[in-house]
């Protein structure tokens, strides 16, 4: 956290702030209950083969024995289903329903405390703080702890010299809980809740003897999570130190002839060390043997050290001539460097579980059963810049800024590292003109126009050189020896990106027109901006012909344009004499980007989903027309499709035939929608009355498309609650289920098409209520200020175009938190 707080001259202050937060998971898409899933699978089996399986409206015990038979879980799921037949008639209430998320979730309790002190004299002031945060996660086994310290000081021993220094240091530790890295399946951190969602509610955690069922539900690749957070761990530690040290010389105060001339040097180092250890015990469900005995354990250790620094040398000259002409000239030279070192090692068969990832020296790396591996890497890059900027103002009415930058980036190709980036801006403060200066209702009205070019050199530090990779070279009949190459694609088993010796800067030139305004003593103020930006030589990974020996290369590709309008409005609708005030802040923005040109001119690059006249990020593929229905018109259409080899029946997804040839091929693919929202907005309202303060903040995104993947509906993977098609439920959201193996994908070839959804949401960011105690009460107890407050974070949505998916977090669930805090000042 970077802060600009500093001590106040002649006064010492001590402040404390503390919060206590509770968080819970809100699942917008819970799994089907056991009885619902049983009916769902019955429909899936019937839709697969109505001659073999009974109609779901007339279930039989024998039919369920056929559908739910699975030896992988010892028939525990089947036995649970058969409980529903214990009275010889089907009673779903007798089936045990297990919500597996209950095993892994908890109410998160977190606390944060910050103690700060500040003080100073005429020539020196300082500010320091210490913070502590402890957070127990909403998923079992997960926690986060952080310590922070910050010190900032300003020293002015003489009027022509000032020294500033600040240092922010933090240390944190985070445990992700259960880990599947190195296990039977590979997952990302925070996977324990997703793992719980993958298990059927009809599956039971223990067998009749009280033993843990390793494969609950009898599905391949689905493992229990009972006590897994104690059998595996994924622990990371991060230490970071961020500093800023500067010295300013006011040369004009030393030599009056150059009054207004200043020199400033600033050095900003940034150090970060990250370490992560993973351990999975042999008794974990992801390692245990099929017979229930412990398998081999696994450990991995990764380290990453980042160090970067920036050094600025800045010379400024500022002076006003004849009380009308204000001139400011800045010369800047900047050098930046980034250095990253990485290392990783992993192995099976760690001697003792207590070793975790701390004793790889005990592993026999020559034994292939131990699957030992290690790697390391080093990445370096530099950036150097020179800048000249001139500001001119006439009578505080007409303002002009002109600047030019020369930037050089080490990661770009020789002969293309350096480029020039100019900018200019003109402003007219209309409210200072004689025809408006006496308008009492107008505080400020300024018209702005400008343009500027910026550069982007982000990307692989060695994209122009080519990556080093292993090759195997037989010498004189000996075993293969490891060699290395950077430019030969034909003798490597791993295809990497092709080097590009012509890689240069991506350049964006933006034109801006804006108005700043303030009315009625500031009660209404804001800004309106319209912009258009043109980007050329985009830095992007592009597919290339495989005959080159490489699948992709990093290149400067084409041109794009982006245009938009932004409105910011701050106003005070109510401000009464009895102390009630309502402040409102509103912003809304619209933007649209388009590709104008690509690597091959005006031709589309379909493999990359880049199309002339469309956004850079789009969803491209087949469209759909909903679900086939059992109507004469639909039956007639299905007959035409099925004459071409399709097997459509009522309840299947209906693809959109763009050229009406009753075939789905490359000619039927279209751009379905853009991935970036066209509209973004936010609205915050604060109500203040005699120390009470209520704030409500909303935000939203509209006008884009998301891909939710559709629903496979095989009934061989756990299913969240969905509205699926049956002959009695024809107006459903999703197609009919058809029984199939989860690993083989949906039995409906076009099921994924229903996953493309037009997206829009308006969400409540937070609601807070606080009370500032009156100064009189504070002074009686020796305090300068005292505030208590409560806050609801992520309380919910006002509108979502898809009600079972949280588009803000891009997941089906999110954390809802309630904060209670106090602020004390001495």
Answer for the pair 609, 621: CB distance below 8 angstroms, yes or no.
no
Q: Is 394 exposed, middle or buried (0-12, 13-18, 19+ CB in 10 A)?
A: exposed
Q: How confident is the model at residue 147 (pLDDT cuts 50, 70, 90)?
A: very high
Secondary structure (3-state) at 657: coil
> What b/e sequence results for 616-645 when a residue is b if at least 16 CB atoms lie within 10 Å of its CB, and e otherwise?
bebbbbbbbeebbbeeeeeeebbeebeeee
**What residues contact residue 821 under an 8 Å CB cut-off, 6+ apart?**
17, 18, 19, 20, 788, 789, 790, 791
Q: Which of 129, 116, 214, 196 is nearest to 169 (CA)?
A: 129
**What residues contact residue 580 under an 8 Å CB cut-off, 6+ apart?**
574, 687, 688, 689
* Average pLDDT rounded to a whole number, residues 639-644: 96
Quote the pLDDT of residue 554: 82
| Count of CA atoms in the C-beta half-sphere (13 A) of 558 | 24
Residue 187 to residue 221: CA distance in whole angstroms: 12
Position 310 pLDDT exceeds 90: yes
Answer for the pair 120, 126: CB distance below 8 angstroms, yes or no.
yes
**What residues contact residue 671 under an 8 Å CB cut-off, 6+ apart?**
611, 614, 618, 619, 620
Position 183 pLDDT exceeds 70: no
Residue 534 to residue 591: CA distance in whole angstroms: 13
Phi, psi of 779 (to 5 degrees): -65, -30
Residue percentage of the chain with pLDDT more than 90: 72
Strands 442-456 and 506-519: antiparallel
Answer for the pair 214, 160: CB distance below 8 angstroms, yes or no.
no
Task: Give 527-549 pLDDT, tens digit per residue.
Answer: 999 999 999 998 887 777 777 77
Residue 376 to residue 341: CA distance in whole angstroms: 7
Q: Is 500 exposed, middle or buried (0-12, 13-18, 19+ CB in 10 A)?
A: buried
* Average pLDDT rounded to a whole number, residues 752-772: 96
Phi, psi of 77 (to 5 degrees): -70, -45
Residue percentage of the chain with pLDDT more than 70: 93
> Which helix H or strand E contains 45, and what residues bound it?
helix 34-48
Residue 130 to residue 120: CA distance in whole angstroms: 19
Residue 360 to residue 346: CA distance in whole angstroms: 8
Beta strands in 430-520 (DSSP E): 442-456, 469-473, 481-485, 506-519
Position 321 pLDDT exceeds 50: yes
Domain boundaries, the chain: 120-178+224-387, 632-668
C-alpha R_g of the chain: 33
Quote the pLDDT of residue 468: 57
Dihedral sign from CA coordinates of 479, 483, 489, 495: positive
Which residue in this structure is represented by tokens 């050098």? 335
Q: What angle do CA 284, 285, 287 make, to 5 degrees?
A: 65
Quote the pLDDT of residue 722: 93
Token pair in block for residue 1: 């956290």
Residue with the larger pLDDT of the pair 537 and 550: 537
pTM: 0.86
Answer for the pair 596, 612: CB distance below 8 angstroms, yes or no.
yes
From 315-319, 421-425, 436-440, the region with the lowest mean pLDDT: 436-440
């Amino acid at each position: 956290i970077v802060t600009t707080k500093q001590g106040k001259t002649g006064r010492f202050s001590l402040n404390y702030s503390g919060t206590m937060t509770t968080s819970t998971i809100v699942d917008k898409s819970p799994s089907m209950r056991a009885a619902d899933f049983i009916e769902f699978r019955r429909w899936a089996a019937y839709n697969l083969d109505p001659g073999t399986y009974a109609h779901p409206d007339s279930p039989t015990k024998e039919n369920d024995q056929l559908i739910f038979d699975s030896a992988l879980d010892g028939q525990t799921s089947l036995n649970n289903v058969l409980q529903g037949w214990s009275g010889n008639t089907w009673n779903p209430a007798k089936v045990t329903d297990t919500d597996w998320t209950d095993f892994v979730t908890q109410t998160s309790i977190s606390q944060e405390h910050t103690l700060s002190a500040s003080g100073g004299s005429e020539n020196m002031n300082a500010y320091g703080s210490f913070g502590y945060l402890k957070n127990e996660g909403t998923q079992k086994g997960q926690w986060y702890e952080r310590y922070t310290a910050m010190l900032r000081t300003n020293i002015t021993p003489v009027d022509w010299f000032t020294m500033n220094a600040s240092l922010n240091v933090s240390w944190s530790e985070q445990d992700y809980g259960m880990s599947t890295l190195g296990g039977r399946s590979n997952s990302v951190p925070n996977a324990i809740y997703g793992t719980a969602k993958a298990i059927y509610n009809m599956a039971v955690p223990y067998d009749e003897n009280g033993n843990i069922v390793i494969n609950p539900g009898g599905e391949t690749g689905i493992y229990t999570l009972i006590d897994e957070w104690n059998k595996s761990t994924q622990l990371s530690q991060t230490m970071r130190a961020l500093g800023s040290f500067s010295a300013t010389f006011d040369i004009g105060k030393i030599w009056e002839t150059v009054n207004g001339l200043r020199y400033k040097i600033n050095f900003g180092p940034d150090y970060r060390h990250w370490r992560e250890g993973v351990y999975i015990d042999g008794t974990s469900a992801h390692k245990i043997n099929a017979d229930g005995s412990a398998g081999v354990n696994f450990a991995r250790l990764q380290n990453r050290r980042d160090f970067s620094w920036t050094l600025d040398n800045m010379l400024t000259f500022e002076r006003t001539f004849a009380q009308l002409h204000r001139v400011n000239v800045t010369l800047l030279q900047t050098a930046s460097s980034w250095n990253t070192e990485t290392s990783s090692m992993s192995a099976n068969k760690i001697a003792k579980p207590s070793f975790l990832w701390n004793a790889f020296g005990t592993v026999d790396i020559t034994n292939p059963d131990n699957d030992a591996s290690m790697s390391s890497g080093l990445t370096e890059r530099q950036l150097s810049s020179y800048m000249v900027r001139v500001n001119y103002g006439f009578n505080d009415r007409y303002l002009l800024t002109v600047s030019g930058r020369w930037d050089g980036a080490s990661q770009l190709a020789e002969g293309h590292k350096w480029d020039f980036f100019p900018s200019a801006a003109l402003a007219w403060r209309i409210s200072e003109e004689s025809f408006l200066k006496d308008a009492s209702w107008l505080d400020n009205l300024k018209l702005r126009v400008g343009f500027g070019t910026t550069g982007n050199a982000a990307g692989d530090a060695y994209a122009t050189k080519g990556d080093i990779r292993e090759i195997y070279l037989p010498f004189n009949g000996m075993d293969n020896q490891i060699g290395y190459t950077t430019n030969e694609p034909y003798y490597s088993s791993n295809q990497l990106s092709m080097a590009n010796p012509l890689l240069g800067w991506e350049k964006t030139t933006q034109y801006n027109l804006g108005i700043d305004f303030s009315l009625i003593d500031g009660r209404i103020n804001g800004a309106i901006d319209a912009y258009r930006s043109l980007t050329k030589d985009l830095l992007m990974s592009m597919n290339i012909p495989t005959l080159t020996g490489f699948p992709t290369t990093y290149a400067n590709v084409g041109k794009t344009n982006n245009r938009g309008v932004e409105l910011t409005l701050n106003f005070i609708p109510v401000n009464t004499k009895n102390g009630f005030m309502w402040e409102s802040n509103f912003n809304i923005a619209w933007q649209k980007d388009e590709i104008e040109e690509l690597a091959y001119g005006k031709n589309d690059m379909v493999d990359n989903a880049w199309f002339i006249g469309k956004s850079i990020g789009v969803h491209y593929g087949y469209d759909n027309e909903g679900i086939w229905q059992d109507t004469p018109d639909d039956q007639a259409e299905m007959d035409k499709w099925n004459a071409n080899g399709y097997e459509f029946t009522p309840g299947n997804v209906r693809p959109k035939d763009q050229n009406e040839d009753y075939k789905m091929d490359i000619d039927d693919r279209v751009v379905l929608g853009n991935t970036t929202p066209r509209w973004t907005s936010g609205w915050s309202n604060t109500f203040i009355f005699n120390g009470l303060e209520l704030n409500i903040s909303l935000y939203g995104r509209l006008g884009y498309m998301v891909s939710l993947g559709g629903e496979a509906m095989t009934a061989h993977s756990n299913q969240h609650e969905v509205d699926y098609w049956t002959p009695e439920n024809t107006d459903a959201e999703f197609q009919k289920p058809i029984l199939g193996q989860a690993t083989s994908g949906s039995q409906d070839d076009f099921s994924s098409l229903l996953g493309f959804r037009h997206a829009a949401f308006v969400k409540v960011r937070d609601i807070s209520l606080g009370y500032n105690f009156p100064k009189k009460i504070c002074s009686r107890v020796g305090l300068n200020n005292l505030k208590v407050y409560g806050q609801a974070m992520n309380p919910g949505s006002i509108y979502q175009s898809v009600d079972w998916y949280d588009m803000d977090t891009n997941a089906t669930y999110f954390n809802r938190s309630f904060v209670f805090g106090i602020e004390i000042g001495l």
